[in-house]
Amino acid sequence: MTTQRFRTALVFAVALTLAGCATTSSEPTPMSTRGKPLEGMDWRLVSAPDTRPGATLSGAGAATLRFEEDRFSMRGPCNRHTGAWSRNGDQLVLGGEGGAVASTRMMCPPEIMTREQALMTAMAQPFTVEFEGPFLRLVAADGSSWRFDSRDLPPAEGRERIVQVAGQRAPCTGVAPTLCLQIRTQPGAAWQLHYGEIEGFDWQVGVEYVIRVREYAVDNPPADGSSLRWVLEEVLERSPPG
């Protein structure tokens, strides 16, 4: 190769390298969150700063956040909430003027109400938005974060319920007179008799419980048996009756 041809080739190679560097530097950072949408999908809460080790946020007592064009809605652990929202780049604010959010006023067991109050207090502050694959993380100024999953839960058998169990049994009659657990699904409501036992639940006299159970239908139940089967999933709260 002559000296002139070598110089020409070298200049061409340097030009290609510089062009490649210019193209790369002008591309957006792959991890940028500014263009990622929040709208049109359900964001299911999967972790929060006050979550106890081993506790689950799925099923009864869960929370799901959804954004539409100008409003957000949230199915909380107990109530439903809605309000305006705004996003500026990675900064997110929930609630309209003055942080106004409209909420229903249902009452749930104390542990669930405490969880919901903590969540609503958190949602009243500005957040930084971060994405990790299918996950959304809302990070507060103090570093606390709430993690949401956009993926659907796998189908599960049975139905999850949260119930309060009294510290005393009450007389009931099945095949013969016996004593039944007393349960209710709303604080302050009348106690209802629960025929049969709750699988995996170690009930003790004098202690009131808030528990999460999975309810299954029983095929061809006996004449003196229940058509529903309850299996304990988690003891949420226990306390001496007040």
CATH number at residue 74: 2.40.128.270
Residue 62 pLDDT exceeds 90: no
In a domain, 13, yes or no: no
In a domain, 14, yes or no: no
Residues 47 and 129 in one domain: yes
Residues 166 and 145 in one domain: no
pLDDT band at 188; cut points 50, 70, 90: confident
Residue 13 pLDDT exceeds 70: no
In a domain, 24, yes or no: no
pLDDT band at 49; cut points 50, 70, 90: confident
Residues 123 and 53 in one domain: yes
In a domain, 7, yes or no: no
Residue 35 pLDDT exceeds 80: no
Number of structural domains found in the chain: 2
In a domain, 31, yes or no: no
pLDDT band at 50; cut points 50, 70, 90: low
Mean pLDDT of 131-154: 88
- Domain boundary residue, one of 126, 149, 172: 149
Specify whether the CB–CB gap between 153 and 58 falls below 8 A.
yes
Residues 89 and 176 in one domain: no
What distances in angstroms separate CA 65 from CA 111, 137, 141, 153, one per listed residue? 20, 12, 20, 15
At residue 92, the pLDDT reads 93
DSSP class of 97: G
Residues 131 and 64 in one domain: yes
Residues 58 and 97 in one domain: yes
> If you average pLDDT over each of 9-13, 56-60, 120-124, 128-132, which comes out highest?
128-132
Lowest mean pLDDT among 121-125, 153-157, 164-168: 153-157
Mean pLDDT of 176-182: 89
In a domain, 95, yes or no: yes
- Domain boundary residue, one of 149, 174, 206: 149
At residue 58, the pLDDT reads 59
Measured distance CA(100)–CA(104) in Å, rounded: 13
Q: How many percent of the chain have pLDDT more than 90?
A: 29
Residues 203 and 135 in one domain: no
Residues 52 and 143 in one domain: yes
Residues 140 and 163 in one domain: no
Per the prediction, the chain carries an average pLDDT of 78
Residue 6 pLDDT exceeds 80: no
pTM of the prediction? 0.56
Between residues 216 and 155, which one has the greater pLDDT?
216
In a domain, 192, yes or no: yes
For 133, phi then psi, to 5°, come to 60, -125
Q: What range defines the domain where residue 97 resides?
A: 42-149
Residue 166 pLDDT exceeds 80: yes
* β-strand partners of 84: 71
Residues 56 and 132 in one domain: yes
